[in-house]
Amino acid sequence: MFLEPHFSGQRSGWIEVICGSMFSGKTEELIRRLKRARIAGQKVEIFKPKIDTRYGESKVVSHDSNSLLATPISDTSKLLGVSEDVTVVGLDEAQFFEDAVVDHVIELANRGKRIVIAGLDMDFRGKPFGPICQLLAVAEYITKVHAICSHCGALATHSYRKTQSQDTVVLGETDLYEARCRRCYGMGNILDLK
Ligand SMILES: Nc1ncnc2c1ncn2[C@@H]1O[C@H](COP(=O)(O)OP(=O)(O)O)[C@@H](O)[C@H]1O
Ligand SMILES: Cc1cn([C@H]2C[C@H](O)[C@@H](COP(=O)(O)O)O2)c(=O)[nH]c1=O
Ligand SMILES: [Zn+2]
């Protein structure tokens, strides 16, 4: 499906979204697609929200320690400044971008670029996270990936927060979150006691 097509003579680009819970492999899949685009000789640029400081500022890093260099941005209008010869633009942790990211990626796709976006579809409450719903609506291609439920081994769709904080944004890893299937997520903190 993702064949690193050649862009010469092509009039418009497209938008791909990779979504799922924490630990579902979104960043690995993003890195895989972007590495293949580079192997195909295409110029790739990667951006992430400045807010995500977990692994140092200038990288996207998977939970398995795969990484690619990325530019941290706090305002997605910066995307519009990518140079003409960049044909593929990657965005990680897209749930943290402001709503205007939607118009900016549409503009880039209209200019003929391929945009590959990874982000959480739901927050810890199980509600749509940031601009992801709108990005899903405008994308040509959507991939939902799944983690493994930390409690029962089923496919996990939810990110369960292990602390009491009610803030939507709380950066963290396995210290604060675990992947859970629908059933185990619904059981809430009863499972914490086991
Ligand atoms: N519960 C889990 N289910 C699946 N993979 C997990 C889990 N916990 C840790 N991992 C690791 O996380 C990797 C995926 O990391 P990553 O691509 O960064 O995910 P995401 O970006 O979706 O959070 C897996 O290949 C695996 O090594
Ligand atoms: C569910 C949820 C997550 N976060 C934070 C926690 C992590 O720092 C990132 C997600 O990273 P990943 O690459 O998808 O593992 O988001 C948050 O701030 N609020 C939430 O509700
Ligand atoms: Zn489960």
Residue 177 falls within a domain, yes or no?
no
Planar angle of CA 138, 130, 37, nearest 5 degrees: 50
How many domains in the chain?
A: 1
Residue 182 lies inside a defined structural domain of this protein: no
Mean pLDDT, range 106-127, rounded to an integer: 98
Q: 7 lies in a domain?
A: no
CATH code, 116: 3.40.50.300
Q: Quick check: is 131 in a domain?
A: yes
- Confidence tier at 45 by pLDDT (50, 70, 90): very high
Q: Domain span at residue 114?
A: 14-145
- Atom 26 of ligand 1, nearest CA residue: 64
Write down the pTM of the prediction. 0.94
Per mean pLDDT, which range of 101-105, 134-138, 189-193 is the poorest?
189-193
Find residue 17's DSSP bridge partners: 117, 142
Q: How far apart are CA 53 and CA 37, in angstroms?
A: 26
Nearest ligand, measured from the Cα of 181:
3
Residue 189 inside a domain? The answer is no
For residue 161, being part of any structural domain is answered with no
* Domain contains 54: yes
Q: How far apart are CA 97 and CA 77, in angstroms?
A: 11
Choose one of 144, 148, 171 to mutate for the ligand 2 pocket test, by most ligand atoms within 8 angstroms of C-beta: 171
Expressed in angstroms and rounded, the spacing between residue 172 Cα and the centre of ligand 2 is 6
The catalytically annotated residue of 16, 93, 98, 140 is 93
Would you say residue 117 lies in a domain? Answer: yes
Task: Answer yes or no: 93 catalytic.
Answer: yes
Check residues 187 and 59 and name the one with the higher pLDDT: 187
